[in-house]
Every structure is written in C-alpha cells, then in structure tokens.
Structure 1
C-alpha cells in the first residue's frame, strides 16, 4: 500500500486554502500596517470618531461589494490577477487592464517591507533594552530612518516574506497565518486593556469614540475611501489571487463578511491602543506614520517588564506587516507562474530581488538623500504611498466593478448569492461603487475638486 502524496501538485490537485485558512490569510492581509500604522494618524488628522464612522460607511457600501467581486472573479478564473478576468469569461482587454492589479501590489511591496523592517528593528531594540535607554523616542526614530540600517532590515523583511511564499499556499501562507494571527489578536487585546488603563487615557478614548462631524471635509471622504481599499487589500489583486486558491464549496458571501468584520475590529482595537496612549503621554494623534513608533515605546517604558512586552508587541506587529507582505508578494509570483509558467521558487527570487532594488529610493527618502526627501510636499516614500493608495487601487477597484457589474455573465453563479442579495450586490457594483470611485479619481488627478 502506497502513501498518498502530501504535495497537492504531486496528486494532480491544485494547491489551495482550507476554509478557515483562507479566511485567516485574507484577514492577515488586511490587518497589517494599514490599520495599526496608517489608520490612527489619518483618523487623528480628520477628527477622530467622525472619520471612523465615515470609514465604516465606505467599508460597507464600497469595500464589501468589491471584495466579493474580486473573490468571485479569482475563484472563477483560477489564475492570476491579470489572467483571471479572461479565464472567467472576459475579453483580452480586461486581461490587460487586470495587469494593473499585478503592478500595484508590487509597487506597494517595495515600500511596505521597509516599514516591516522598522518593526523588526524595534522588536530587537526593545528586547535588548536599548530602545528605553534614551527617552527621546522621536529622536531615536528619526535617526534610525534617516540612516542606512533600514536597508538591512528591508532585506530581512523581504527574505522572511519570500521564505513563506516559496512554500506555497497550504504549506506556507496558510500555516503562517494560522499560527500567528490568533496570537497577535490575543496580545493586541492585552495591549488595548493596558492602554485604556493608563493615566489620562479617557481623553484619548473620548476623542476616538465621540464624533465631531464639523472636522470632516471632502478630503476626509477621499482618505476614508482610499483607506477602505488599502486596508481591505482591494484593487491590488490580492483577494483576486487568493480567490483562485479557494475551494468551490467555500461560501464567498460569508467569507466576505468575516474578512470585513476582521478588518473593522482590528481598526477599532488599533484606535483604542493608539489614542489612549497618545493622550496619556501628551503626543498629538495626527503626528504622522511615526506615531506607532513613538507613542507605544513611551507606553512600554512606563509599565513593568516594558522591554519584554514591548519587544513581543513589535514582533507581533512585524508579523502583522509580514502577513500583508506575503499576500502582496503572492500576486506577482502567481502572475509569473500563470503567465510565463515559471516555477514558484524562481518567481519568488526574481520578484524579491526587484522589490529590494526598486525599494531603495523609498528607504533612503527620510533625510539621507536630499533629492528623495524633498520632492514638493512629500518625500519619495510618501509619493509612492499616495499614488498607489489613492490612484492605482481605486483604478483597480473600478476595473473590477465594471467587469463584474456589466460584462460578466457568470457573476451570479460565481458569487453564490441568493437572488435578493445578488440584486443588491449588482446594484452597488453598477451604480454606487463606480461613481464614488470615479469621483475619487477625478479629485486626485485635479480634474474635479470636491468642495
């Protein structure tokens, strides 16, 4: 009697997620730095709870319908973010347009692994105690990102990411998320409890939970929509690619709600960590992406065993970043495997090398290279973040909504929705999401300015 092969490819079966593994991997893609690093400071800039409510509306009205469409297209096409449109029944034009959803995650990954490297560095500094030897946490952070060491940590981050992706879907990405996401959630809850119990934390909680609609602007709507796309990993081919590895028996509607809920809960917990901490230590909640690298070390320094818990938290924050990095890397890797028939190892190595090289300008744009740190109102890193988040991702989402809403004859069967919910979903894809996304694009390109 022979033992059946454990490798799916060896048995003729496509490597794919289990039901629970898929949901965890999709949540792992969304609960990265987007909600812990980016969400708190853009919330602080736009008035706290009022912006959070606006974000929820964008998530439900636009995010979830597009998310379901991406999953359905991916599962129906069983290919990469570019080829699935054609394999699902679309024209070659959509295949070419879908290539944008391969380019976008690649560009995002070039600067995303840089911040993942920052978190790894902070974990080491915290465990060693060096992070708390100098109370000037802002100065420490600026000195670090303004040097060459971020390049080393950038390389380490892409190496870890590549090792996971090389092992495949079930053996790499799924196992990575199954082990690390539950542990991360537990420690985030512990950190939330610790944050809200800090002296003066009530002011931060009130800022986060008490809406001030007078501070909302049309720009706030643009930022909320952009972050809904970014935090759910929409328009960048991730969920479309993951959908290609989902079992056909997996209810996509249920998975969509679970992924959206996971993203929202993570954002909420992130707010209840950051804002009470900033209030307790007198830090402005709109001080930029460095917020998490300044506020949290201050909190850890004031608590018993702060070096240990701080190190553990930054390890888990790095894990959150790396789960997203893994999903970003999988998109271009799947494209090379699907389009050019390359092996997984070769695809991972080639993409990883290019990510590292093209990411160098972003890593060097915090003061060490003046030409990269002063490019108008932003540095190179911030420009790349702005272009991908506010232009490429909405364009990718627009392509998905137009295809699923108007051109895809198999949408009803692929989505697996009952007739009533299908009509609602189709209405959102045809008449609501495209219009709002188009308004964002017109505003970001300067063709139309929202007043």
Structure 2
C-alpha cells in the first residue's frame, strides 16, 4: 500500500498541468462544441423556444454544475487517466469498469464527431469561395457531398488538426490552442449575432427565443433539456475527469465549475440569437432537426447581402467549435494509453488518431456512399451517435453521481466547498441528480416514452 502511495505521488509530480486560466479555456472549449451550435438550436426549435431555453438553464445550474464539480474533483483527487480516477480517488476495484466506460465513450464519440467536424471545414471553404451558393438546391448539394469520398478526406483533415494540437501536450498544445481560439470564437459569435438581429423580421426570431410560452413544455421537454445540459457540458464522457487531473491543487474547483457553466450558457445564448433571427427572417422553420445547419441556413445566407462572407464566418465558427471539442475527446484515450501502456504522447496520439479515423470511415460511408450500412432503420453513423450519446453518456453521468454522493469518502476535501455549499452539493448528488439522470437514461434509450 505504501508503495502504491509512493507511485501515485511520483505520478502526480510528473503529471502535466494547466495554468489556472488555461484550464478554464480548455474546459470551456470542451463544452463549446457542435452541441450548442448544431444541436441546441434545433432541439430548442422543436420544444417551443424560450420556455425550453429557460428549462435548459435550470437543468444546467441545478444538475449540470454539481455533476461537473464532481467530475473535476474526482479527476484532481485521482491524478490519473479517466480509467483509473475512481480507484485512485479512493474507490474500490469494482469501479474499474466505470472508469473504462469513461475512456471508451469519448473515443467512440470522436470516431463520428470528427466526421461532422470535417463537414464544417468543407463548408467553410466552399462558403468563402462561393461554391456553396452556386445552387439553390442545398439539400441536393449536401446529399451529393455526403454520398462521395470527400467527407473522408475532410474527416482526415480534421483528425490531423486535432492530433497536431494534442501531440503538443497539455500546456503547449491544448491550453494554447484554446486560449487563441475561444476568444476568437467569441468575436465571431458577436459579429454574426449583430448581423442576425439586424436582419428584416429578426424580431420575431428574438421573441421566439426570449419570450417564453410555458404551455408548450412537456415532460419530454424537461428530459431533453436535462440531457442536453449533460451533453453540452461534456459530462459523463471522461473529459472533465481527465482535465481535472491536470488542475493545480490551488485552483478553486467551485469557481472553475461556475466559469465553465457560464461560458457554456453564454455560448448557447448567443448561438440562439444567431440562428433564430436568421431563420425567422427568411421564413425557415426552426424545428427542421440536424438539417437546419447544412441545408436551411445556407439558403438564408445566400439571400442576405455579403452572404458568402457571413456564411463563411458561420462555418468557420462551427469548425472552431468542433475542433476544440475534438481535442478534448482525443486527450481522454491518449491520457489512458500513456498511463496504461507507458506510451509516449506522440505514439499514443498517432496510433489512437489512426484507429479513430479508420473506425469512423464506415460511419461516414453509411450516410450516402454505402447506404446498406444500415441496421434496424438506422445508419451506422446514427447507431454510433445513439449508443454513445443516449446510453453511454447518461450511464457515465449516473455512475459519477453515485460514486461522489455515496461512496467517496474524500469528497468534502476534494471539492473544497464551504460546509453550507458542500451539504447542498451532496444533497443534489445523492437525491436529485441520480433520479433525474436515470430518467434521462430511460428516455434516451427508448424505454421511457411519452
């Protein structure tokens, strides 16, 4: 036992570290992804707009932040990879499977997430060169794109950029990457928001997003909002466990959790003020699902003055958001490989990036090139999304709440909260979050329907 403690101490000394500000930027980068710019607008449109947005805020604050703090605290206490964080933080060997889940989930997510990241890179290029707006058949254009081999080329480009950042390390790569791109992201968001809210007829879209009608909410809306709070904060996927292991012990985790949650919320707010004024201004229904971004919005940009410029900015924004999250997703299995097999960072990055790229090719092909890669009415891409987002992530989040709420004896010290706030945090983790997250798991897996 003493030998293990010594090894753990030595590992902690050698562990890479974020600076305080670098950690905040990196964590916000992991949460500021395609979820808030691609998924958040269409699920908000499908669930009535402003009332759903307020429900999302409530879920993020009351459930998302307590679980986020738990993940960071477990990661910092364990000082290991996501796979060993539970055990190193004081859990028994029975928690090994929970740790492995936190490594497998982000790796599988990255295999299809990087495909969509590649789409955004492609659309940024063809928006700026005018090719995107050379036709009015945007559905046909998108269908033709995903049916060819070019998505795999762009998938490879996105994977190379991601690997290039992660291979530079925690402070030299991930931290610097996010410190540059996250402020840049804010500038692009503000420029596009100003353009959107000044469009003719944009006021109707602003009202839809900010003037709530609570009569449109359903029980399903509540579970969707809670599920998205988890997804947008990158909970249950090992990222915050891994990033927590890189946080200095002097960093206030409570303040960090608030900053990360605020960053995620501000990003969702501005994204809504871009999407909804634009869609309402051009008579586009805001509930078109995933096609809203790649089919409906290009039609809107083509109709506005300087549409190529603003369309290009929009897809650059999407690409930046996608890549900051992809970097976080890759770091989780890289950290595991370095710890488990004593690989160098370079070896871990290149091997895992190649495997992830190859694993993603069938998913990319299933959307058009080889439609026969369909099972039970779902393309392989959709199955990967369903299994990870709807089952593995809620299950991972549920295990986090159970461990921190009931099994972790060092929770009080690791969280660093004042006694009053610790009691509130523990109450949420024990009696509120597990119940609600379990309901989300039942709903997203299709067991609980309305």
Q: TM-score per shorter chain, which class?
A: over 0.9
Q: Which moved more, 1:166-175 or 1:353-362?
A: 353-362
Contact 1:98 1:399 in 2 (8 A): no
Contact 2:67 2:397 in 1 (8 A): yes
* 1:65 positional shift: 0.5
Q: What's the counterpart of residue 87 of structure 1?
A: 88
The answer to whether residue 133 in structure 2 is matched with residue 132 in structure 1 is: yes
Matches within 5 A, 1:315-354: 315-354=316-355
| CA distance in structure 2 between the aligned counterparts of 1:354 and 1:181, rounded to whole angstroms | 28
| CA distance in structure 2 between the aligned counterparts of 1:286 and 1:142, rounded to whole angstroms | 20
| CA distance in structure 2 between the aligned counterparts of 1:45 and 1:173, rounded to whole angstroms | 35
Contact 1:105 1:328 in 2 (8 A): yes
Deviation by residue 1:92-148 (Cα, 9 ceiling, x = unmatched) = 111222110111101110111011101100111122121122233232222212222
Q: What's the counterpart of residue 51 of structure 1?
A: 52
Decide whether aligned partners of structure 1 residues 341 and 377 sit closer, same or farther in structure 2, where only a CA change above 3 A counts: same
Say how many residue pairs are matched: 439
Unaligned runs of 5+ in 1: 1-8
The answer to whether residue 264 in structure 2 is matched with residue 253 in structure 1 is: no
* 1:234 positional shift: 0.2
* 1:439 positional shift: 1.8
RMSD (Å), alpha carbons: 1.7
The answer to whether residue 417 in structure 2 is matched with residue 417 in structure 1 is: yes
> When the two structures are superposed, what TM-score results if normalisation uses the length of structure 2?
0.94
The answer to whether residue 25 in structure 2 is matched with residue 24 in structure 1 is: yes
Unaligned runs of 5+ in 2: 1-9
| CA distance in structure 2 between the aligned counterparts of 1:13 and 1:61, rounded to whole angstroms | 35
> When the two structures are superposed, what TM-score results if normalisation uses the length of structure 1?
0.94
Contact 2:82 2:241 in 1 (8 A): yes
* 1:303 positional shift: 4.0
| CA distance in structure 2 between the aligned counterparts of 1:400 and 1:266, rounded to whole angstroms | 25
| CA distance in structure 1 between the aligned counterparts of 2:178 and 2:237, rounded to whole angstroms | 20
* 1:48 positional shift: 1.2
Q: What's the counterpart of residue 393 of structure 2?
A: 393
Decide whether aligned partners of structure 1 residues 206 and 375 sit closer, same or farther in structure 2, where only a CA change above 3 A counts: farther
| CA distance in structure 2 between the aligned counterparts of 1:383 and 1:54, rounded to whole angstroms | 28
SS of the residue corresponding to residue 118 of structure 1 reads: helix
Q: What's the counterpart of residue 407 of structure 2?
A: 407
* 1:333 positional shift: 0.6
Deviation by residue 1:179-224 (Cα, 9 ceiling, x = unmatched) = 1110110111110111111112122112212223333233222222
Q: What's the counterpart of residue 177 of structure 1?
A: 178
Q: What's the counterpart of residue 115 of structure 1?
A: 116
The answer to whether residue 359 in structure 2 is matched with residue 358 in structure 1 is: yes
Q: Which runs of 4+ in 1 moved over 6 A?
A: none
SS of the residue corresponding to residue 57 of structure 1 reads: helix
Q: Which moved more, 1:22-31 or 1:209-218?
A: 209-218
Q: Which moved more, 1:284-293 or 1:58-67?
A: 284-293
Deviation by residue 1:392-414 (Cα, 9 ceiling, x = unmatched) = 11110111111111111111111
| CA distance in structure 1 between the aligned counterparts of 2:142 and 2:283, rounded to whole angstroms | 17
Q: Which moved more, 1:64-73 or 1:140-149?
A: 140-149
Contact 2:15 2:79 in 1 (8 A): no
| CA distance in structure 2 between the aligned counterparts of 1:14 and 1:108, rounded to whole angstroms | 25
The answer to whether residue 273 in structure 2 is matched with residue 285 in structure 1 is: no
* 1:445 positional shift: 4.1
